[in-house]
Structure 1
Amino acid sequence: MLYLQHIHHIAIICSDYQASKTFYTNVLGFQVLAEHYRVERNSYKLDLTLNGQYCIELFSFPSPPARPSGPEACGLRHLAFQVQNISEAVNKLEAAGIETEPIRRDEFTGKYFTFFRDPDNLPLELYEQ
Protein backbone atom coordinates (compact mmCIF):
# COMPACT_ATOMS: atom_id res chain seq x y z
CA MET A 1 0.00 0.00 0.00
CA LEU A 2 1.16 3.51 -0.79
CA TYR A 3 1.07 5.79 2.27
CA LEU A 4 -0.02 9.20 1.06
CA GLN A 5 0.46 12.14 3.42
CA HIS A 6 -2.08 14.60 1.97
CA ILE A 7 -3.21 16.16 -1.30
CA HIS A 8 -0.42 18.43 -2.53
CA HIS A 9 -2.24 20.47 -5.17
CA ILE A 10 -4.90 20.50 -7.84
CA ALA A 11 -3.97 21.57 -11.38
CA ILE A 12 -6.50 23.48 -13.48
CA ILE A 13 -6.05 24.48 -17.11
CA CYS A 14 -8.04 27.56 -18.04
CA SER A 15 -9.05 29.06 -21.37
CA ASP A 16 -8.87 32.72 -20.28
CA TYR A 17 -5.98 33.22 -17.87
CA GLN A 18 -6.93 36.71 -16.65
CA ALA A 19 -10.59 35.79 -16.11
CA SER A 20 -9.65 32.66 -14.15
CA LYS A 21 -6.95 34.45 -12.16
CA THR A 22 -9.50 37.13 -11.18
CA PHE A 23 -12.12 34.50 -10.31
CA TYR A 24 -9.85 32.40 -8.08
CA THR A 25 -8.20 35.39 -6.36
CA ASN A 26 -10.78 38.21 -6.22
CA VAL A 27 -13.96 36.11 -6.00
CA LEU A 28 -12.86 32.96 -4.12
CA GLY A 29 -10.07 34.59 -2.12
CA PHE A 30 -7.01 32.53 -3.01
CA GLN A 31 -3.68 34.28 -2.60
CA VAL A 32 -0.93 34.27 -5.24
CA LEU A 33 2.15 32.38 -4.08
CA ALA A 34 4.03 32.60 -7.39
CA GLU A 35 3.32 33.50 -11.00
CA HIS A 36 5.53 32.36 -13.87
CA TYR A 37 5.33 32.88 -17.60
CA ARG A 38 6.93 30.02 -19.52
CA VAL A 39 8.00 31.48 -22.87
CA GLU A 40 8.76 28.11 -24.47
CA ARG A 41 5.18 26.93 -23.80
CA ASN A 42 3.43 30.31 -24.20
CA SER A 43 1.90 29.46 -20.85
CA TYR A 44 1.35 30.92 -17.41
CA LYS A 45 1.63 28.89 -14.21
CA LEU A 46 -0.01 30.51 -11.19
CA ASP A 47 0.48 28.94 -7.75
CA LEU A 48 -2.39 29.73 -5.39
CA THR A 49 -2.69 29.30 -1.63
CA LEU A 50 -5.69 29.25 0.67
CA ASN A 51 -5.07 30.24 4.27
CA GLY A 52 -1.35 29.66 3.76
CA GLN A 53 -1.72 26.20 2.23
CA TYR A 54 -0.54 25.71 -1.35
CA CYS A 55 -3.35 24.01 -3.21
CA ILE A 56 -4.05 25.11 -6.81
CA GLU A 57 -1.86 25.38 -9.89
CA LEU A 58 -3.64 27.44 -12.53
CA PHE A 59 -2.26 26.95 -16.04
CA SER A 60 -2.90 28.68 -19.33
CA PHE A 61 -2.08 27.00 -22.64
CA PRO A 62 -2.84 28.17 -26.17
CA SER A 63 -6.16 26.69 -27.37
CA PRO A 64 -6.70 23.91 -24.81
CA PRO A 65 -9.36 21.39 -25.85
CA ALA A 66 -12.66 21.50 -24.00
CA ARG A 67 -13.29 18.79 -21.42
CA PRO A 68 -16.84 17.66 -20.76
CA SER A 69 -17.72 18.12 -17.11
CA GLY A 70 -21.38 17.37 -17.01
CA PRO A 71 -23.88 16.10 -16.66
CA GLU A 72 -22.17 13.46 -14.55
CA ALA A 73 -19.27 13.01 -16.98
CA CYS A 74 -16.69 10.36 -16.16
CA GLY A 75 -13.64 11.68 -14.31
CA LEU A 76 -13.20 14.29 -11.62
CA ARG A 77 -16.71 15.27 -10.58
CA HIS A 78 -16.07 18.55 -8.76
CA LEU A 79 -13.77 20.43 -6.40
CA ALA A 80 -15.31 21.27 -3.02
CA PHE A 81 -14.45 24.13 -0.66
CA GLN A 82 -15.45 24.25 2.99
CA VAL A 83 -17.14 27.41 4.27
CA GLN A 84 -18.33 28.51 7.68
CA ASN A 85 -21.69 29.90 6.51
CA ILE A 86 -23.20 28.66 3.25
CA SER A 87 -25.82 31.43 2.92
CA GLU A 88 -23.22 34.16 3.41
CA ALA A 89 -20.89 32.54 0.87
CA VAL A 90 -23.70 32.19 -1.69
CA ASN A 91 -24.65 35.84 -1.21
CA LYS A 92 -21.05 36.90 -1.88
CA LEU A 93 -20.85 34.75 -5.02
CA GLU A 94 -24.13 36.14 -6.33
CA ALA A 95 -22.99 39.71 -5.57
CA ALA A 96 -19.96 38.95 -7.76
CA GLY A 97 -22.27 37.81 -10.58
CA ILE A 98 -21.67 34.07 -10.02
CA GLU A 99 -24.77 31.88 -10.32
CA THR A 100 -25.23 29.12 -7.77
CA GLU A 101 -27.58 26.18 -7.56
CA PRO A 102 -30.14 26.16 -4.76
CA ILE A 103 -28.67 25.24 -1.37
CA ARG A 104 -29.28 21.59 -0.54
CA ARG A 105 -28.81 19.45 2.58
CA ASP A 106 -26.54 16.39 2.51
CA GLU A 107 -28.78 13.43 3.32
CA PHE A 108 -26.01 11.63 5.22
CA THR A 109 -24.30 14.42 7.19
CA GLY A 110 -27.11 16.98 7.45
CA LYS A 111 -24.68 19.68 6.24
CA TYR A 112 -25.62 22.29 3.63
CA PHE A 113 -23.97 22.58 0.21
CA THR A 114 -24.35 24.13 -3.22
CA PHE A 115 -22.64 24.07 -6.61
CA PHE A 116 -21.39 26.81 -8.92
CA ARG A 117 -19.04 27.06 -11.92
CA ASP A 118 -15.69 28.67 -12.62
CA PRO A 119 -15.10 30.71 -15.82
CA ASP A 120 -14.44 27.47 -17.77
CA ASN A 121 -17.63 25.83 -16.47
CA LEU A 122 -15.73 23.55 -14.06
CA PRO A 123 -18.06 22.38 -11.30
CA LEU A 124 -17.20 23.73 -7.83
CA GLU A 125 -18.95 23.07 -4.55
CA LEU A 126 -19.32 24.96 -1.30
CA TYR A 127 -19.84 22.72 1.73
CA GLU A 128 -20.78 24.21 5.10
CA GLN A 129 -18.60 23.20 8.03
Structure 2
Amino acid sequence: MLNLRQIHHIAIIGSDYQASKHFYCDILGFTLQGEFYREERDSWKADLALNGQYTIELFSFPQPPKRPSRPEACGLRHLAFNVDDIEQSISVLTASGVFCEPVRIDPYTGKKFTFFNDPDGLPLELYES
Protein backbone atom coordinates (compact mmCIF):
# COMPACT_ATOMS: atom_id res chain seq x y z
CA MET A 1 0.00 0.00 0.00
CA LEU A 2 1.18 3.53 -0.77
CA ASN A 3 0.70 5.02 2.74
CA LEU A 4 -0.73 8.43 1.76
CA ARG A 5 -1.00 10.77 4.76
CA GLN A 6 -3.29 13.55 3.54
CA ILE A 7 -4.11 15.73 0.54
CA HIS A 8 -1.29 18.24 0.11
CA HIS A 9 -3.00 20.76 -2.18
CA ILE A 10 -5.56 21.26 -4.90
CA ALA A 11 -4.59 23.06 -8.13
CA ILE A 12 -7.15 25.35 -9.77
CA ILE A 13 -6.73 27.26 -13.05
CA GLY A 14 -8.70 30.50 -13.37
CA SER A 15 -9.34 32.41 -16.58
CA ASP A 16 -9.18 35.78 -14.77
CA TYR A 17 -6.50 35.66 -12.07
CA GLN A 18 -7.64 38.78 -10.19
CA ALA A 19 -11.30 37.65 -10.14
CA SER A 20 -10.31 34.18 -8.92
CA LYS A 21 -7.96 35.56 -6.27
CA HIS A 22 -10.71 37.93 -5.05
CA PHE A 23 -13.23 35.07 -4.92
CA TYR A 24 -11.04 32.60 -3.03
CA CYS A 25 -9.45 35.16 -0.68
CA ASP A 26 -12.03 37.91 -0.12
CA ILE A 27 -15.24 35.88 -0.38
CA LEU A 28 -14.28 32.37 0.74
CA GLY A 29 -11.63 33.51 3.23
CA PHE A 30 -8.45 31.80 2.03
CA THR A 31 -5.17 33.52 2.98
CA LEU A 32 -2.65 34.44 0.29
CA GLN A 33 0.65 32.88 1.38
CA GLY A 34 2.66 33.58 -1.76
CA GLU A 35 2.18 35.02 -5.21
CA PHE A 36 4.47 34.52 -8.19
CA TYR A 37 4.42 35.78 -11.78
CA ARG A 38 6.02 33.33 -14.20
CA GLU A 39 6.98 35.48 -17.18
CA GLU A 40 7.99 32.58 -19.43
CA ARG A 41 4.43 31.22 -19.15
CA ASP A 42 2.62 34.58 -18.83
CA SER A 43 1.08 32.99 -15.78
CA TRP A 44 0.36 33.77 -12.13
CA LYS A 45 0.57 31.25 -9.29
CA ALA A 46 -0.81 31.93 -5.84
CA ASP A 47 -0.47 29.72 -2.77
CA LEU A 48 -3.63 29.88 -0.65
CA ALA A 49 -4.15 28.61 2.88
CA LEU A 50 -7.29 27.77 4.84
CA ASN A 51 -6.96 28.13 8.61
CA GLY A 52 -3.18 28.26 8.27
CA GLN A 53 -2.91 25.09 6.17
CA TYR A 54 -1.64 25.34 2.59
CA THR A 55 -4.54 24.11 0.49
CA ILE A 56 -4.88 25.58 -3.01
CA GLU A 57 -2.47 26.45 -5.82
CA LEU A 58 -4.32 29.04 -7.89
CA PHE A 59 -2.99 29.38 -11.43
CA SER A 60 -3.78 31.58 -14.39
CA PHE A 61 -2.88 30.84 -18.00
CA PRO A 62 -3.72 32.85 -21.11
CA GLN A 63 -6.95 31.53 -22.65
CA PRO A 64 -7.31 28.19 -20.85
CA PRO A 65 -9.87 25.82 -22.39
CA LYS A 66 -13.30 25.67 -20.77
CA ARG A 67 -13.93 22.95 -18.19
CA PRO A 68 -16.49 20.36 -19.28
CA SER A 69 -19.19 20.24 -16.64
CA ARG A 70 -22.67 19.25 -17.66
CA PRO A 71 -23.72 16.60 -18.26
CA GLU A 72 -21.42 15.08 -15.66
CA ALA A 73 -17.92 14.91 -17.14
CA CYS A 74 -15.25 12.43 -16.14
CA GLY A 75 -12.73 13.81 -13.65
CA LEU A 76 -12.89 15.90 -10.52
CA ARG A 77 -16.56 16.53 -9.80
CA HIS A 78 -16.39 19.26 -7.14
CA LEU A 79 -14.59 20.53 -4.03
CA ALA A 80 -16.49 20.48 -0.73
CA PHE A 81 -15.92 22.65 2.33
CA ASN A 82 -17.19 21.99 5.87
CA VAL A 83 -19.12 24.81 7.54
CA ASP A 84 -20.76 25.05 10.96
CA ASP A 85 -23.87 26.97 9.81
CA ILE A 86 -24.94 26.52 6.20
CA GLU A 87 -27.60 29.25 6.25
CA GLN A 88 -25.11 31.82 7.58
CA SER A 89 -22.55 30.74 4.98
CA ILE A 90 -25.11 31.02 2.18
CA SER A 91 -26.00 34.54 3.41
CA VAL A 92 -22.35 35.59 3.17
CA LEU A 93 -22.03 34.17 -0.35
CA THR A 94 -25.32 35.70 -1.49
CA ALA A 95 -24.31 39.12 -0.13
CA SER A 96 -21.17 38.81 -2.29
CA GLY A 97 -23.22 38.07 -5.40
CA VAL A 98 -22.63 34.30 -5.40
CA PHE A 99 -25.68 32.17 -6.29
CA CYS A 100 -26.22 29.02 -4.20
CA GLU A 101 -28.49 26.16 -5.14
CA PRO A 102 -31.33 25.31 -2.74
CA VAL A 103 -30.18 23.48 0.39
CA ARG A 104 -30.48 19.70 0.18
CA ILE A 105 -30.25 17.00 2.85
CA ASP A 106 -27.74 14.17 2.45
CA PRO A 107 -29.93 11.04 2.55
CA TYR A 108 -27.17 9.03 4.24
CA THR A 109 -26.03 11.46 6.94
CA GLY A 110 -29.00 13.80 7.34
CA LYS A 111 -26.61 16.78 6.94
CA LYS A 112 -27.39 19.93 4.93
CA PHE A 113 -25.43 20.85 1.80
CA THR A 114 -25.54 23.19 -1.16
CA PHE A 115 -23.58 23.87 -4.33
CA PHE A 116 -22.23 27.10 -5.86
CA ASN A 117 -19.62 27.98 -8.49
CA ASP A 118 -16.35 29.86 -8.58
CA PRO A 119 -15.89 32.59 -11.24
CA ASP A 120 -15.03 29.95 -13.89
CA GLY A 121 -17.91 27.62 -13.07
CA LEU A 122 -15.92 25.14 -10.95
CA PRO A 123 -18.56 23.47 -8.78
CA LEU A 124 -18.01 23.96 -5.04
CA GLU A 125 -20.02 22.54 -2.16
CA LEU A 126 -20.76 23.65 1.39
CA TYR A 127 -21.44 20.76 3.75
CA GLU A 128 -22.71 21.47 7.27
CA SER A 129 -20.74 19.53 9.90
Q: Same fold (TM over 0.5)?
A: yes
Q: Which amino acid aligns with 1:10?
A: I
Q: Which amino acid aligns with 2:2?
A: L
Alignment of 1:37-116 (within 5 A): 37-116=37-116
Question: 1 CA distance for matches of 2:112 and 2:103?
Answer: 7
Question: 1 CA distance for matches of 2:67 and 2:52?
Answer: 30
Q: Does 1:11 align with 2:18?
A: no
Q: Deviations over 1:107-128 (max 9, x none)?
A: 0001100000000000000000
Tell me what 1:120 maps to.
120
Question: 2 CA distance for matches of 1:69 and 1:56?
Answer: 20
Q: Which amino acid aligns with 1:8?
A: H
Q: Which amino acid aligns with 2:51?
A: N
2:5 partner SS: coil
State the Cα distance separating 1:71 from its structure 2 match. 2.9
Question: 1 CA distance for matches of 2:117 and 2:54?
Answer: 21
Question: 1 CA distance for matches of 2:125 and 2:85?
Answer: 13
The list of structure 1 runs, each at least 4 consecutive aligned residues, that deviate by more than 4 angstroms after superposition, is none
Question: 2 CA distance for matches of 1:35 and 1:80?
Answer: 24
Q: Which amino acid aligns with 2:32?
A: V
The RMSD of aligned alpha carbons is: 0.6
Question: 1 CA distance for matches of 2:71 and 2:47?
Answer: 29
Identity %: 66
State the Cα distance separating 1:67 from its structure 2 match. 1.5
Question: 2 CA distance for matches of 1:66 and 1:113?
Answer: 26
Q: Does 1:25 align with 2:30?
A: no
Q: Deviations over 1:71-108 (max 9, x none)?
A: 32111110000001000000110000000000011000
How many residues matched?
129
What stretches of structure 2 of length at least 5 have no aligned partner? Answer: none
1:90 partner SS: helix
1:58 partner SS: strand
